[in-house]
Amino acid sequence: MNIFVTSIAAMLMVLFLSTPVAQAMDGSDLLTGYNSYKLVKEGIAANTDAYQGGLFNGYVSGVFDSAVGIVLCVPGDVKNGQIQEVVGQFLETHPASHQRSAVLLTTQALMKAFPCK
C-alpha cells in the first residue's frame, strides 16, 4: 500500500510540476482544443485548428499514459481516439468546472470512464 501511495504522489507531483504551458491550461483551453480536434477529424480544420487539436490530442494522451495502471484500469481494446472523446464529452457536460486545471479535469474524466475496482 505504501508503494501505491508513493506512486500516486510521484505521478501527481510530475503532473503539477510540468511545463508552464501545462500549468496554465484549464478546462476552457481543453474544450477549445477538443472542438479543434473534432474539426481535424472531420477534415475541415484550419491551420490553427490543427495545432489546437494536436495539442489537445497530445495532452490527453500524455495524461492517460502517465496514469494507466496507477489510477486508471483500462481494457485492452481502448483506442487512442476513444480517450479524447471521453475527455471532450466530459468537458461538454461539465461546463461549470472549466475554470479548473486541465490535468485535474482530464484525470477526473478518465478515472470516471476507466475506474479501478
**What's the CATH number where 47 sits?**
1.10.890.40
- Residues 92-96: what's their mean pLDDT? 96
What nine digits make up the cell of 40?
481535424
pLDDT at 91 over 90: yes
Structural domain total, the chain: 1
Q: In angstroms, rounded to a whole number, what is the distance separating the alpha carbons of residues 25 and 44?
A: 25
Domain holding 6, by residue range, is 2-113
pLDDT at 79: 82
- Residues 56-72: what's their mean pLDDT? 92
- Residues 76-92: what's their mean pLDDT? 92
Burial 15-37 (b: 16+ CB within 10 A, else e): beeeeeebeebbbebbbbbbbbb
The reported pTM is 0.77
